[in-house]
Structure 1
Amino acid sequence: MSDVILSNTDLDLPQIHNLLNLGAIYLNGQRLQEDFSVSEGAYLRVHTKPRRFPKNDGKWSERIIFENQYFIIVNKISGLPVHASVDNIRENVQAYLEETLNQPVFLTHRLDVPTRGLIVYGKTAEFQTAFNKMLIARELKKIYRARVTNAPPMGFLTHFMEPSPRAPKKVDRVEQPGWQNCVLEVLSSTLLDDGSYEVKIHLHTGRTHQIRAQLGFENCPIIGDHAYGAEKIWEEERIELEACELEFTNPLTGESHHFKI
């Protein structure tokens, strides 16, 4: 495989080995982790410039808020994906947790790369399945804290999101065929000394980029969220959005849990 890539790209051997380590090379649709011989007619896909994220700083034990035999609650930092991406399986919260705990953990829900805060990982596939069913039934209460440029309307905000895989996401107040409803509730809004507002939000539906898109549409984008109308402030992927509170019932035991930062 390496000789094929060497003869068809400007990559050298150390670069190819690094791409293999990141999981950025595919053979016939399967991600490679080591060098393989390539037969004629095989399809080789190489992500030559994989997206990079902060390396493991070794502090993940400190970021575990709660742990039992079923799940882990982690305080995610900005700038990291919660799971592997198509061209990088190493630099993400899930991989760093598995390295720290020396055991597999299972993704249950997501936070955007620039968003920080509380996220749940299952410790068993059984919990993951049961928790995902609970998410579909909207039995998880999620509260977010955001700092925004302008004060949003208080109470419920309802928009509809275009069903597209592309970002930034497009929303509108008017429902269109096939568009998904997005509902959040602004619980409080406080004017800060710098002229921005700190708002507390109860997320009722969990669409990709939902809070960011809805607040951007209302002309009150999140500080640092240049994709949705705010000024770009930091070089790193960071916006002033934090998942600050989670409340749910363990679907396997019936025990109630409430976590807050």
Structure 2
Amino acid sequence: MITENDILFEDNHLIAINKLGGDIVQVDNSGDPSMEDMLKVFLAKKYNKPNDAFVGVIHRLDRPVSGMILFAKTSKGLDRMNRLFHDRKVRKTYLAVVREKPKAMKGTLKNWLLRDRKKMVTKAFDREVKNGSYAELDYEVVGALDGFYLLKINPLTGRTHQIRSQLSFMGCPIVGDNKYGYPRGSQLRTICLHSRSLAFKHPVKEEEMIVKAPLPKDGFWEKFNVLLKEDI
């Protein structure tokens, strides 16, 4: 269920939601309600629309990932935001918690990713592989707390499970992500990967925007607020 408290930003063309880890963006074979469908119901009720409101899925987050996700409320907003993503004119910032300290405090990861559709995992390689897709991201260690490390991540490409597989290949699997090498999973079926913000030029108003999502309140993430800086 989506409420007013989940909304990070809304205007005539766009709406940003603070996604909970465990929610699905679009319908899958689990049969669980999707954010797309819940948002249609929410907007139809909010604006007293007799039929379902228009909701366009601009981008996606993995089910166990939390944080900022943007939807379109108009076809114009959807088309133009799709173009911005395609042209890599949207700056995506994620936060991740890992247990292993990276060898370098900041760096760029460049890999080729190969998707195993049977196992639903993405494997990273340090060389070009047949049918693989090039993936690149920048990371920086924000700080350490209680034996964990908070990383800021800016993916430069948008591949399935890119951050999860590339951090695992680096030797730093995300906390709770036993699919990619962390020793145990979370009882909440979430991982410590959070979509912190999107920065882009509004597709209609052409104003520069940054929309941020606060860290989840789950008993673990909150303590990392002390490490966050204004520019993160």
Shared fold, TM over 0.5:
yes
Alpha-carbon distance change, 258 to 215 in structure 1, aligned in 2, over 3 angstroms? same
1:74 matches 2:17: yes
The 3-state SS of whatever aligns with 2:27 is coil
* Structure (1 or 2) with the greater strand fraction: 2
1:171 matches 2:124: yes
Structure showing greater relative contact order (alpha-carbon pairs closer than 8 Å, 6 or more residues apart): 2
Letter in 1 for 2:74: T
Letter in 1 for 2:129: Q
Corresponding residue of 1:137: 87
Corresponding residue of 1:205: 157
Unaligned runs of 5+ in 2: 45-52, 214-232
The 3-state SS of whatever aligns with 1:134 is helix
Corresponding residue of 1:119: 69
Q: Please give the alpha-carbon distance, in whole angstroms, between the structure 2 residues aligned to 1:237 and 1:106.
A: 26
Q: Please give the alpha-carbon distance, in whole angstroms, between the structure 1 residues aligned to 2:86 and 2:15.
A: 20
Q: Please give the alpha-carbon distance, in whole angstroms, between the structure 1 residues aligned to 2:3 and 2:155.
A: 26
Deviation at 1:163, TM superposition (A): 4.3
Aligned length: 202
Corresponding residue of 1:106: 56
Letter in 2 for 1:92: S
The 3-state SS of whatever aligns with 1:169 is strand
- TM-score, length of structure 1 as denominator length: 0.73
The one-character-per-residue Cα deviations of 1:57-109 (angstroms, maximum 9, x if unpaired) are xx522110110001001110000111111453x51111111111112311000
Q: CA RMSD in A?
A: 1.5
Corresponding residue of 1:9: none
The 3-state SS of whatever aligns with 1:101 is helix
Instruction: Indicate if the aligned counterparts of 1:144 and 1:200 stay in contact, CA closer than 8 A.
Output: yes
The one-character-per-residue Cα deviations of 1:156-202 (angstroms, maximum 9, x if unpaired) are 11110014434221111111233111111012342211x11111111
The one-character-per-residue Cα deviations of 1:227-259 (angstroms, maximum 9, x if unpaired) are 000132423320001001110012233121111
Letter in 2 for 1:146: A
Unaligned runs of 5+ in 1: 1-55
1:234-253 aligned at under 5 Å gives the runs 234-253=186-205
**Whose radius of gyration is greater, 1 or 2?**
1
Letter in 2 for 1:190: G
The 3-state SS of whatever aligns with 1:131 is helix
Deviation at 1:134, TM superposition (A): 1.1
Q: Please give the alpha-carbon distance, in whole angstroms, between the structure 2 residues aligned to 1:140 and 1:165.
A: 28
Report which stretch shifted further, 180-189 or 70-79: 180-189
Alpha-carbon distance change, 233 to 170 in structure 1, aligned in 2, over 3 angstroms? closer
Corresponding residue of 1:185: 138
The 3-state SS of whatever aligns with 2:121 is coil
Q: Please give the alpha-carbon distance, in whole angstroms, between the structure 2 residues aligned to 1:255 and 1:130.
A: 14
Instruction: Indicate if the aligned counterparts of 2:115 and 2:121 stay in contact, CA closer than 8 A.
Output: no
Q: Please give the alpha-carbon distance, in whole angstroms, between the structure 1 residues aligned to 2:3 and 2:188.
A: 19
Deviation at 1:205, TM superposition (A): 0.7
Corresponding residue of 1:223: 175
- TM-score, length of structure 2 as denominator length: 0.82
Corresponding residue of 1:33: none
Instruction: Indicate if the aligned counterparts of 2:141 and 2:149 stay in contact, CA closer than 8 A.
Output: no
